[in-house]
Amino acid sequence: MLHRTGAKCARSRAHYILRVSELPIIDPTVRRTYAGTGLADDVTGAPLPLLRLWWAQAVDDERIAEPDAMVVATVDEAGNPDARTVLLKQLTPAGFTFFTNTDSTKGRQLRRTPYAALVLLWHPMHRQVRVRGPVTQVAREEAAAYFATRPRDSQVASAASQQSRPVASRAQLERAVAAEQARWPDTGSPTDVPLPPSWGGYRLQPDEVELWAGRPSRLHDRILFRRAGTGDLDDASAWTVTRLQP
């Protein structure tokens, strides 16, 4: 539900868009009621069962276009934060895995500071998952196996793009793509385009996982799992569970 402070009636989306298109660009009085399903007091054990449940519910929710889109925050050489969206490709007891160019800005930052934070936001469900922990690069064979599942055009684009580096023009980028297309003839095999040298996966092994459920009147539920042992995301003995104030 969308309404503004003091207004009795719910506002339509059209009204909201109209408001946003007026000046000032952001109307600070627009408010939403967060009334998602909350988190009970009896949450115990490891984070993975609840993460698995929330993931399944997000995937089933047709209002969520990309449940796998997550923000990855890293740290640059000056110690300053950086963040961007990537796609979550694996959630296993070992951690959260995404794939990218290992010489990109984030790749270089992770080489220097192998620690990251992730945020998955499932807006229509009023749910957020926050994760922090050390990051390791996945084995090259694992990255190659995933790369082979990608459509050929995405493989070619990854081979052609020196991600995060400047390029003079769109035309120059398209010439680089054409060169990679010609270099790897299309026989219909998923491995026609080999794994590029600067492409791989990163796995974040959480030492903190927070599940946040939006509730009315800003009295949200927050459950923090904090690592207390060396076990994985499915090992109850490795985690403490704490409820946090909203």
Ligand X SMILES: Cc1cc2nc3c(=O)[nH]c(=O)nc-3n(C[C@H](O)[C@H](O)[C@H](O)COP(=O)(O)O)c2cc1C
Helix (H, G, I), strand (E, B) or coil at 237: helix
Given the residues 32, 52, 111, 218, the one annotated as active site: 218
Residues 62-101 that bind ligand X (CB under 6 A): 66, 69, 82, 84-87, 98-101
Query: How many residues of this chain interact with ligand X, rule: CB under 6 A?
Result: 16
Please state, as a whole number, how many other Cβ atoms lie within 10 Å of the Cβ of residue 126: 20
Q: Is 106 a binder of ligand X (CB under 6 A)?
A: yes
Spell out, one character per residue from 111 to 150, where the chain touches ligand X: x when CB under 6 A holds, - when not: ----------------------------------------
Smaller CB distance to ligand X: residue 109 or 209? 109
* Chosen residue from 97, 104, 128, 155 binding ligand X by CB under 6 A: 104
Active-site residue, 218 included: yes
CA 181 to chain centre: 30
Residues 146-205 that bind ligand X (CB under 6 A): 163-164
Task: Report yes or no: 210 and 99 within 8 Å, Cβ to Cβ.
Answer: no
Q: DSSP string covering 5-67, please?
A: TT--SPPPHHHHHHHHHSSSSS-TTEEE--------TT--S-SHHHHHHHHHHHHH-TT-S-T
Q: Tell me the closest approach of the beta carbon of residue 82 to ligand X, in angstroms.
A: 6
Smaller CB distance to ligand X: residue 143 or 224? 143
**N- to C-terminal Cα distance for the chain?**
20
CA angle 72, 226, 58 (to 5 degrees): 50
Q: Is 27 a binder of ligand X (CB under 6 A)?
A: no
186-189 LR contacts (CB < 8 Å, sep 24+): 186/152
Which residues are part of the catalytic machinery? 218
Binding site for ligand X (CB under 6 A): 66, 69, 82, 84-87, 98-101, 104-106, 163-164
